Amino acid sequence: MKETSNHGEIVTLYKNEIKTESFRKDEKDGLCIFEYVYFSRPDSNIDGMNVHKFRELAGKYLAEQAPVEADFVAGVPDSGLDAALGYSKYSKIPYDLAFVKNKYIGRTFIQSTQTKRRNQVALKLNPIPSTVKDKRIILVDDSIVRGTTITRIIKVLRRAGAKEIHLRVASPAFLGICYFGTDVTDKNGLIATKKSVEEIRQEIGADSLEYLSLENLRKIAEGSNMKGFCEGCFTSKYPIEVPDEIHKDKFEKIF
């Protein structure tokens, strides 16, 4: 079978025949960079870049950006685990598990209401008290969107006896809504659009907080074969023109 990686190509298999049709010519790339940060499975390879390796490198850069003394590094399941491993390898601080995950609970940040998100977080992760009690923890998560999930997680770790919690986020601050599929429709719901890093740290209850810089995110992305990414969630700049003052739902109906 013919292998193809052409963007904008349709491959049709019918009656033992393979047909291809291209409908895009010389357009710039615009893969969602959040595929690497959060959406895709770690064993995925996207345009020449392994997702696990991408996240591990994010952890390495975080360790370079924001070193801190701690007893162990832990990741927020699932997509924070790879970055936590990278932080641990680079910093030489041991890696350990802080949570047991309920495998029957889905992703929380896409739930439609704050109450639903809060309730699912309560069911999703259970701390391991014997691991976290009286320990200084570097906690690595993939992103902070509204702040609901991570606030609950930190409270759970505090109740389990954690001495210090230093949060490291394996992506830049979430500043823009998504017009292309992610259920983030209103900037007012994004904590980083309203508060400084220090204010967010105080609100979520961490002892320190650091985001991966956009510069370092782009350095990691250079390892892929893509010539460009959509970084709209971090920069509010998109690969195609988005009309001013248009609601996401109206935009989706247009396109």
Res. 190: pLDDT tops 60: yes
At residue 255, the pLDDT reads: 45
Strands, E assignment, 6-134: 9-14, 17-22, 31-32, 45-46, 49-50, 72-75, 99-101, 125-127
The closest alpha carbon to 162, from 154, 170, 152, belongs to 154
Res. 36: pLDDT tops 70: yes
| For range 9-24, the mean pLDDT | 84
Question: At which residue do the structure tokens 């390879």 appear?
Answer: 45
Task: Give just the sign of the alpha carbon dihedral 215, 220, 221, 223.
Answer: positive
Q: What is the pLDDT of residues 223-250, one digit of tens each?
A: 998 888 999 999 999 988 886 655 555 5
The closest alpha carbon to 149, from 248, 52, 78, 236, belongs to 78
Res. 11: pLDDT tops 50: yes
What is the distance of C-alpha 129 from the center of its chain? 26
Question: At which residue do the structure tokens 């259970």 appear?
Answer: 126
The closest alpha carbon to 255, from 176, 178, 180, belongs to 180
Could you count the other beta carbons within 10 Å of the beta carbon of residue 20?
11
At residue 158, the pLDDT reads: 97
105: CB partners within 8 A, 6+ apart: 120, 123, 124
236: CB partners within 8 A, 6+ apart: 175, 176
At residue 156, the pLDDT reads: 94
Q: What is the pLDDT of residues 157-169, one digit of tens each?
A: 999 999 999 999 9
Res. 114: pLDDT tops 80: no
Q: What is the pLDDT of residues 98-113, one digit of tens each?
A: 998 887 665 554 455 5
> Which token pair is 166?
């230093």
Q: Model confidence at 3, in pLDDT bands (50, 70, 90)?
A: very low
| For range 59-70, the mean pLDDT | 98
Q: Provide the whole-model pTM.
A: 0.82
Q: In this structure, what are the phi and psi dihedrals at residue 97, rounded to the nearest 5 degrees?
A: -95, 130
Better pLDDT: 147 or 26: 147
Better pLDDT: 1 or 146: 146
At residue 244, the pLDDT reads: 65
Architecture of the 29-254 domain: 3-Layer(aba) Sandwich (3.40)
